[in-house]
Structure 1
Amino acid sequence: MKVSIVTEGFYHTGYGHLTRCLSLYQAFEQRNIFPVFFINGDNECRSVLPETRHNIFDWLNNQDELLSKVKGSDIIIIDSYLAPLEMYYRIAASTAYPVFIDDNMRLDYPEGTVVNGSIYAEQLNYPGRLETNYLLGPKFIPLRNDFWQVREKPIRPELQSVLLTFGGQDLANMTPRLLRMLVRNRPDLTKKVVVGSGFKNLNLINEAKDTKTELYYSPASAEMVKIMLESDLAISAAGQTLYELARTGLPTIAISVAENQNANLEGWIKEGFLTSSFNNETVNLENRLMVVFNNYKNRDLRYKVGSLGKKIVDGLGAGRIVQSILDQMIKRNGGAYLRTAVESDSMLVFNLSNERSVRLNSIVQEPISWQDHSFWYPNKIRDRNTLFLLAFTGNDEFVGQIRFEAKGSDATVSISINKNFRGKGLSTPLLIKSSFNYLKIYPEINSILAYIRPGNNQSIKSFSGAAYVFFHEEMVNGESFLVYKLVRQS
C-alpha cells in the first residue's frame, strides 16, 4: 500500500501540521504501512521528522512534480493552509482514497474523508455529503505516539511546579512576560519553560528566569510527556498543545495568541477543561491570570479538570483515523486491504506457503524448509522486480499474499489465500485491485501472466473474474499449466 502525506512546515510559521501528520505516519507504521511525507518547508523541519521517509520541496509552486511523485498512491493525506482548492481536486483525482485534514472548514473539499479533531468540530456546519466520510471531534485528534499510552498523573496536595508552553515561535512574546509574573508572584514554584525552535526572545527569558526556572529546548514528544506529568499546572497557548495537556490530565490556563485559536479556547471552556478565557491583549492580563492561577491551589479542582481532560482526549485519535481509512478501503476491496510485505511478515508467509493445498497448486510442490525460506524471503521483498503484497482484514487478520514478478515487458502473478478465508470471495476483488494498480504503477509492463494447474477450478474462476483470459498451455518443469493473461488496455 502506498500512502503519501502532503503537508507544510516552516521555521517562521511553526510545525503544527507536521506534528499531527507525524502521528498519522506513526499510526500507519504500527500497521506495517510506511508512508512518505511530501513537505513544502525548510530544512529545519527535518528535526520534527526523525526516522521518517520524507521529501522536502516547494510543491505549492510545483504541483505537477508533486502529482508525479504521489502517482499510484492508494491513500493521499493533505494537511495545508496554503494549498488552493484546485490542487485538492487534482490530488483527489489521482488517488483511490483522499484524506483532508481540516481545522475550520477552510475549503469545500472534494469527495473523500475530512478529518477535524478539534474540540468544536462537531459544531461546524460541514455539508454532510453522503459520499464524504467525516471524522469530527476530539476522539479523532491525532497525537504523537508518546501520548497514546500515558501513565496516571499524580495530583499533589500543593502546587509545586508550573509549565509554560507557547508553541514553536511565541510570536506574542508571552513566555518572558508570564515568567516574570510567576517569578514575582510565586518564587517558590519550579517553573518549567518550553523554548521552541523559533523563539526570538531567549535573551528576555534568560533575564526573567530565577534559580527555580528550568528551560527545555524543543523537547521531543517523550520528554514533553514527562514534563507534563511532572507539572501541577500549565499556562499555554490555545492551540494543538491543549490536546496533549488534556491527554496527560494537566490542569491548564490557556491564552489565545492568534485568531485561529479562539474557537479552540471557547470549545474547551464549554467542555469544562478550561475555566477562563484570556488572549494576549486582555487588559490587566497578569493580575487577572493570577486570580485564576490561585484557584488551582484547590486540589479537588485540579483533579476534576484533569480527569475531564483525559476523558475527552484518550490518545487513540490517530489510530481511529487510520482504522477508518482502512475500513473504507476494505469496503472497496471486497473485504481486505493490501500492503507491502515487510521483514517481520516472514513467518506468516512461510506458514501460508507450506499449507498443503497451497503446495499442491504451486509449480514446485515440495514443502519449503525454513532455511530456504529465510534466505529467499528477505531477498524477494527487496527485489526491485518484485511487488510482494499481503492482504489483511480490518482487525489485521492475515488473509493471504499476492506476488508480482516483472520479466521484461511482462510480469507473472501468484496468489495464496489463508485457509480461514477461502471460499469467501476475496480472491477476485484482491486480484482486481492489485493487478490494475500494478499496471498503473509500472507503465513498462504490458501484460500479467498467471500459471494455473489444470483442475484448479477455483483459481481459474478467480482470475477470470479479474479479467484474466486464457492464453495458452505451457510446459513448466515437465508439467502442463494453463496460462491466463491480463493485457494492458490502451
Structure 2
Amino acid sequence: MRALIFTEGGSQIGLGHISRCSSLYDELLDREIEVEFIINSDTSQIEIIKNKQYKVINWLSKEFLTNYIKQSDYCIVDSYLASQDLYLVISNQSKKSLFIDDNGRIEYPEGIVVNPSLSTEAVKYPINDTNCYLLGTKYIILRSPFIQVNRENINPQVKEVLITLGGSDIHNLTPSILNRLGNKNSEITFNVVIGSAFNNIEEIKSFSSKNINFYENVSAREMKSIMLRSDFAITAAGQTIYELLATQTPFIPIKVIDNQHYNLLALKECNLIETALEYNDTFFSEKLIFEFENLMKFSTRAEWVKKYKGVIDGLGSRRIIETLLSGEIMEKEYFLRKVKDEDIFDVFQLSNEDYVRKHSINTTKIDWQDHKVWFQNIIKSDNQVFFVVTDYTDRFLGQLRYKIEDKSAIVSISFGKTIVGKGLSKELLKKSIELIYEERNELENIIAYVSNDNIASKKLFEKVGFILHESNNSLFRYVYSFK
C-alpha cells in the first residue's frame, strides 16, 4: 500500500499546504503506510519536511500522473493550481482519492472532499452520491505538537509578541511591522519567525536590536514553544491561525493572499476575532497599531484565551486518514449517542446552516455567545434528551433533541448534508424514539412542529407514524402516540 500527497508551495505561494499535509503524512506513517510528497515548487530544499520522503517536480500534467500513480495508490491532493481534468485523472488512476479544499474551487470528481475549516457555512458543496464531505472543526489539520495544548497562564503585562508571516513574506510586511512597533516598544521582546521561502531575510535582520529575536526554519515543537511564550501574535491568516487557536494565543490576523478570505470569514462568524487587517489597506499601519494597543490590555487577551479553548481538538488528521483508509461512509454504520460538551461547535455550525434555519420556527442566525449559554443549559437540563448522529469515526452528522413537557416530548431534528437524501432519516428518527422511550417510559406521545413549506419533514414524520392533529397557516402539529 502506498499513499501519495500531491501539493505545492514556494516563495510566492507560501508553504501552508505543505505544512498541513505534513500532518497527514505523519498520520499515514504512524500506520506503517509508505507515503511520499509530490511537490510543485520553485525551491528544491523544503525545510519543514526535510526528514520526509518527497519529490520536487511539476506534477501538473496528465502524462506524469498517468505514469506515476498506480491503481493500488491512495492519493491526497491539496492544490490551488491543478485543473479539474487533473483531479479527474488522479481519481480514475488511484484506488481512492481525497481532495483538500478551502473555497469550493472546482466541482470535484469521485472521492473524499475535506474542508478543514472553522465554518461549514462559507462554502457550499453540491449534494451527490459520488463525494463524501468532511467539513468543519473536527477536520482541522494540526501538526502533532499542537494537539490538545493548554495555555497555563496569562501574563498581566505583555512581555513577548510573536510575528509570523508564514513560509514566505511575499509582501515584505515583516520589516514594516518591526519598523512601526519594534523601537517604540523596547520593553517587549519580539519573536520574529522567518520562513524558508523568505526573500527578504537580510532586510529583516537589519532590524537588529536587544528586544528582537529571529527564528529561522523552526520546527513544529519550536513554534509551539514560541507561541506559548508569546502573549499575542501578529500573523498571516493562513494555516498558522489554527495553531494559534490550539495554543490559545491571541492574534492579529492579516490577509496576505486572496485564498485566506474564507479563513477570516469563519473567524468572524465564530466570534474568534473582531477585526482582520489586509496587507494593501491604505491605513494598514494605523489599524495595526490600534489592534496592537488593544491586545496590550490584560482583559482583552484573557477574553480571547477563554474563547479559544476547546475550539479545535486536534484530531482532524486522524479522522481524515481513518475515512480515507476505511472506505466510504457505510450506510449501516451510523450511530446515535448522547450529546457531549465537545459537540458544542458542531451543533452551532449545523444549526446555522441556511437550509436548517429556513425551516426553523426562528429563522434568524444564531449568535455564538448566545449558543454557548443555550448549549450549557440544554445539556445540564433534566428536561432535555439530546442525541447526535455519528459515523464510525465519531464524525458529527446530525442531531435529534427531545424537550420533555409533562408526558410529552417535543422533537427537533436537523441532519448534515452528508446524510441528507440517503434515506436514513426515517431509521434514525425511529431509533431515537426507541431510545427515548427506554429512558422515559412515562411518555405518552411525541410532538413535532413542522413549517408548512417543509415537505420533506412532513413526509418523514408521516412515514414513522406521526399523525397530523392540527395546523394553522404556517405550522403543522404532528403527534406520535406510545399508547
The match for 2:279 is 280
The one-letter amino acid paired with 1:8 is: E
1:41 & 1:292 partners in 2: Cα distance?
A: 35
Q: CA deviation at 1:213?
A: 0.3
Q: CA deviation at 1:224?
A: 0.6
Kindly provide the CA deviation profile for residues 195-230 of structure 1, in whole angstroms up to 9, marking residues without a partner as x.
Answer: 112222233323334211000012111111111011
Secondary structure of 2:327 counterpart: helix
Q: CA deviation at 1:56?
A: 2.7
Q: CA deviation at 1:140?
A: 0.8
Residue 208 (structure 1) aligned with residue 230 (structure 2): no
Change (3 A) 1:207 1:5: closer
The one-letter amino acid paired with 2:118 is: I
Q: How does 1:81-96 map to 2 (within 5 A)?
A: 81-96=80-95
Mean Cα deviation higher: 63-72 or 247-256: 63-72
1:126 & 1:65 partners in 2: Cα distance?
A: 29
1:42 & 1:184 partners in 2: Cα distance?
A: 35
The match for 2:67 is 68
Q: CA deviation at 1:55?
A: 2.7
Kindly provide the CA deviation profile for residues 393-447 of structure 1, in whole angstroms up to 9, marking residues without a partner as x.
Answer: x79xxxxxxxxxxxxxxxxxxxxxxxxxxxxxxxxxxxxxxxxxxxxxxxxxxxx
Q: CA deviation at 1:330?
A: 8.7
Give unmatched runs, 5+ long, in structure 2: 334-391, 394-483
1:55 & 1:206 partners in 2: Cα distance?
A: 31
Question: RMSD of the TM alignment (CA)?
Answer: 2.6
Mean Cα deviation higher: 111-120 or 285-294: 285-294
1:238 & 1:10 partners in 2: Cα distance?
A: 17
The match for 1:6 is 6
The match for 2:196 is 197
The one-letter amino acid paired with 1:17 is: H
Contact kept, 8 Å, 2:47 with 2:217, in 1: the verdict is no
Kindly provide the CA deviation profile for residues 30-74 of structure 1, in whole angstroms up to 9, marking residues without a partner as x.
Answer: 22223222222345344232332223322213x333333220334
Residue 230 (structure 1) aligned with residue 224 (structure 2): no
Q: CA deviation at 1:83?
A: 1.4
Secondary structure of 1:59 counterpart: coil
Give unmatched runs, 5+ long, in structure 1: 335-393, 396-490
For the pair shown, the structure with the greater C-alpha radius of gyration is 1
Contact kept, 8 Å, 2:44 with 2:56, in 1: the verdict is no
Q: CA deviation at 1:121?
A: 4.2
Contact kept, 8 Å, 1:10 with 1:44, in 2: the verdict is no
Contact kept, 8 Å, 2:150 with 2:248, in 1: the verdict is no
Kindly provide the CA deviation profile for residues 155-196 of structure 1, in whole angstroms up to 9, marking residues without a partner as x.
Answer: 111111000010122111111111112123311100000111
The match for 2:15 is 15
The one-letter amino acid paired with 2:188 is: L
Contact kept, 8 Å, 1:75 with 1:97, in 2: the verdict is yes
1:184 & 1:287 partners in 2: Cα distance?
A: 16
Residue 31 (structure 1) aligned with residue 13 (structure 2): no
1:180 & 1:98 partners in 2: Cα distance?
A: 46
The match for 2:117 is 118
The match for 2:245 is 246
Secondary structure of 2:94 counterpart: coil
The one-letter amino acid paired with 1:26 is: D
Change (3 A) 1:295 1:9: closer
The one-letter amino acid paired with 1:6 is: F
1:271 & 1:92 partners in 2: Cα distance?
A: 34
Q: CA deviation at 1:13?
A: 2.5
The one-letter amino acid paired with 1:56 is: V
Residue 219 (structure 1) aligned with residue 221 (structure 2): no
Secondary structure of 1:75 counterpart: strand
The match for 1:403 is none
The match for 1:40 is 40
Residue 52 (structure 1) aligned with residue 79 (structure 2): no
Secondary structure of 1:261 counterpart: helix
Q: How does 1:270-309 map to 2 (within 5 A)?
A: 270-309=269-308
Contact kept, 8 Å, 1:27 with 1:319, in 2: the verdict is yes
Secondary structure of 1:32 counterpart: coil
State how many pairs are aligned: 337
Change (3 A) 1:180 1:26: same
1:162 & 1:89 partners in 2: Cα distance?
A: 45
Q: How does 1:337-348 map to 2 (within 5 A)?
A: none
The one-letter amino acid paired with 1:51 is: N
Secondary structure of 2:50 counterpart: coil
Q: CA deviation at 1:312?
A: 1.8
1:189 & 1:173 partners in 2: Cα distance?
A: 22
Q: CA deviation at 1:317?
A: 1.2
Kindly provide the CA deviation profile for residues 442-476 of structure 1, in whole angstroms up to 9, marking residues without a partner as x.
Answer: xxxxxxxxxxxxxxxxxxxxxxxxxxxxxxxxxxx
The match for 2:324 is 325
The match for 1:173 is 172
Identity of paired residues, percent? 37
Change (3 A) 1:218 1:291: same
2:42 & 2:278 partners in 1: Cα distance?
A: 30
Change (3 A) 1:109 1:267: same
Contact kept, 8 Å, 1:97 with 1:329, in 2: the verdict is no
2:248 & 2:119 partners in 1: Cα distance?
A: 19
Query: Please, what TM-score do these two structures have when normalized by structure 2?
Result: 0.65
Residue 263 (structure 1) aligned with residue 251 (structure 2): no
1:128 & 1:184 partners in 2: Cα distance?
A: 54
Contact kept, 8 Å, 1:160 with 1:231, in 2: the verdict is yes
Query: Please, what TM-score do these two structures have when normalized by structure 1?
Result: 0.64
